[in-house]
Chain A
Amino acid sequence: MSKQPVYEARGISKNYGNVIALDNVDFSVAAGEVVGLVGDNGAGKSTLVKALSGAHKPDAGALYLDGQPVEWNSPHDALERGIETLYQDSSLAPDLSVSANVFLGREEVVPGFWGKLGFLANKSMDARARQELEKVGIAVPSSSRSVAKLSGGQRQAVAIGRAVTWATKVIILDEPTNHLGARQSAEVLHVIKQAREKGLAVIFISHTLPHVLEVTDRIVVMRLGRVAVDAPTSTFTPDSLVKAITGFEVVAS
């Protein structure tokens, strides 16, 4: 990794009572890089994600954004600094329209007096939502359609499109292809590649190893709260990745 990391975690530890969830973990991701984060259940993936997204504070260790130490008190802090997280349980409000979801928490108001009263600029938000989603390969004929009326894959695409729209530095995707069919997964992977083109750092958490092997540049394998392997994706085979996850140390480089 010759590239300077945009987001980095050093020496992260986290205990839940007597359980050591994370033990001195180092993790980094560079701009325009997709890093796969894999591991068995309980390996510490979600705990690491929570630390990176600002949902939990680690007991020890530090986070660095662009080389500067950062500390998050809430996911909102991380959000404001350009780190978008797509949570496993959907981050969308199903009863709201596509554009209302894209602009959730960032609603734009009309200029002048009515704007001061909080009146929404729906037309410009609809148009901008469509533009931004198209940039990452999601065509939206009607951004005023409610999300509940979309299919699972379309919903996930909107959620990722939303994250890509607002992220300026990092997007964290927790199991984005879960419960999706083959074609829909391919579409989601396509959006991830678009995010990389855009120069974002992407952290991709998944149990679906073929997806990880397809879309990532580097894979970090976690086991029992530690980083077991951290190597370029090209050095893995499907077999060696499974072995790395289950505990047979096969580092292919």
Chain B
Amino acid sequence: MTSETKGMPLTLQSSPVRSGRNERLKEFATRQETLLFAVFALMVLVFSLVNPRYFSTAAFGNILQDFGPVMLMAIGQTLVILTGGIDLSVGALLGLSGVSAALAIRATTSSGMDPAMSIGIGIVAALAVGAFVGLVNGLLITRVKLAPFIATLATMGACMGTTLVITGGVQIAGAPKEVVLIGNTRFLEILTTPLVVVLVLLVIAWLSLSRTRFGRRTYAIGSNPFAARVAGINVNRHLMKVYVIAGLLAAVAGLFVYFRLGSGSPASGRGGELQSIAAAVIGGISLVGGVGRVTGTALGALITASVLSGLILIGIEPNAQQIVVGALIAFAVAVQGIGRHNSRA
């Protein structure tokens, strides 16, 4: 590359500008999103051959119901991983915020409050829990200087423990019927209100990462935190925002599951950290930080959710799911590594 540079003025062009149709086609074909979509289509085909029921709008609607919470956690995970961090607390936080909403709603409705009001209080309770845990993650990382891995491992444990303490380890039922209606009434065959919320949040995440100053700085911090700092970016404040957003999104995921089931289960969110990391790395988010798009994560989340429901349909027991998700992560990271070696060669 350097040998092509001819004297002064210094030229950054290292190869002739390529804009032929073949080049564009090649670029499209090798894009992460295109490949992921091909993987997804292949998977649907395989699962459908094994169990024809897999290929139906009803089944796809169910996949989307699994996709919702994974997608929400994965958006937060994407932001965090882009900055070079990792958030292990999202799954446990999903559980804690879900049961917090369930407890608040049960307490307020049993005292005779109007269901709409009560549901509103439940939503606020869950979001407050999410923001608080995100804040604690951010403070542990930026002030106490803990590695994100350790900080969020600690809050993951704390969230799991708190969930068990406040629920006594049992399911919190007693939701007004409106909850299940909101969570499960389908329109356009496959959508529900919570799913629309997920899609809106996905679009907002995509716009902010690709078009705004917030997104630009998120990438910059993951790419070279030193450069970001000396360029005058307040890295700590930005990281605080990112972890609080990840916490809030995990809380929305907790609400999603609560509205779907109509109860708060202390077991929900288990393995959520694994699923969200899988969605992000399958989607091409580099664990080193600074590289990847949330559109990739969305396809990664769709693949993760399809694998989970596909496994059930082809008769693999639910407890084996985590093995598959773990294998997916290892595979995706290995593929990323191969791609990187090729592009740097």
Contact = CB atoms under 8 A, between A and B. Distances in A.
Interface of A: 75-76, 79-80, 85, 87, 89-96, 98, 100-101, 104-107, 109, 117-120, 134, 137-142, 145, 149-154, 157-158, 181, 183-184, 186-187, 190-191
A186 B222 CA distance: 32
B2 A91 contact: no
Interface stretch (B175-183, B192-200, B230-238, B308-316): B230-238
16 contacts: A87-B226, A95-B290, A104-B220, A104-B227, A104-B228, A105-B228, A105-B233, A106-B231, A107-B213, A107-B217, A118-B208, A118-B213, A120-B216, A141-B13, A142-B13, A190-B10
B211 A76 contact: no
Contacts of B233: 104-105
Contacts of B9: 134, 137-139
B82 to A, nearest CB: 10
B2 A105 contact: no
A172 B227 CA distance: 15
Given A107-B216, A154-B5, A181-B2, A142 B12 contact: yes
A214 to B, nearest CB: 15
A75 B229 CA distance: 9
Contact of B212 (A89, A93, A120): A120
A51 to B, nearest CB: 15
A121 B5 CA distance: 30
A162 to B, nearest CB: 9
A137 B212 CA distance: 30
Contacts of A140: 12
A150 B12 contact: yes
B144 interface: no
B338 interface: no
Nearest to B289: A95
Nearest 7 pairs of A and B residues by beta carbon: A105-B231, A93-B223, A118-B212, A95-B290, A95-B223, A105-B232, A104-B231
Interface of B: 1-2, 5, 7-14, 17, 208, 211-214, 216-217, 219-220, 222-224, 226-233, 290-291
B8 A117 contact: no
A77 B12 CA distance: 31
Contact of B228 (A89, A93, A150): A93
Nearest to A153: B2
Contacts of B12: 98, 138-142, 145, 150, 154, 157-158
A124 to B, nearest CB: 14
B296 to A, nearest CB: 15
Contacts of A76: 230, 232
Given A75-B230, A75-B232, A96-B290, 20 more contacts: A76-B232, A87-B230, A90-B227, A93-B228, A93-B290, A96-B216, A96-B220, A100-B220, A118-B208, A118-B212, A141-B12, A142-B12, A150-B12, A153-B5, A153-B10, A154-B2, A154-B12, A183-B7, A187-B8, A191-B10
B294 to A, nearest CB: 15
Contacts of B8: 137, 186-187, 190
Nearest to A103: B216
A91 B212 contact: no
A81 to B, nearest CB: 12
Contacts of A134: 9
A157 B319 CA distance: 55
Given A100-B216, A109-B213, A154-B5, A92 B227 contact: yes
Contact of B5 (A79, A101, A119, A151): A151
Contacts of A105: 228, 231-233
A157 B223 contact: no
A119 B219 CA distance: 15
B219 A96 contact: yes
A95 B232 contact: no
Nearest to B222: A95
Nearest to A151: B2
A101 B211 CA distance: 15
B45 to A, nearest CB: 35
Give the interface centre of B10, B211, B212, B223 by most chain A CB atoms within 10 Å. B10
A75 B232 CA distance: 8
A79 B226 contact: no
Given A95-B290, A119-B211, A139-B9, A151 B1 contact: yes
B10 A139 contact: yes
A197 to B, nearest CB: 14
B160 to A, nearest CB: 35
Contacts of A107: 213, 216-217
A237 B229 CA distance: 40
Contacts of B291: 95
A95 B219 contact: yes
A229 B208 CA distance: 53
A80 B1 CA distance: 36
A101 to B, nearest CB: 8
Nearest to A187: B10
A91 B10 contact: no
A153 B9 CA distance: 13
Contacts of A109: 213
B14 A149 contact: yes
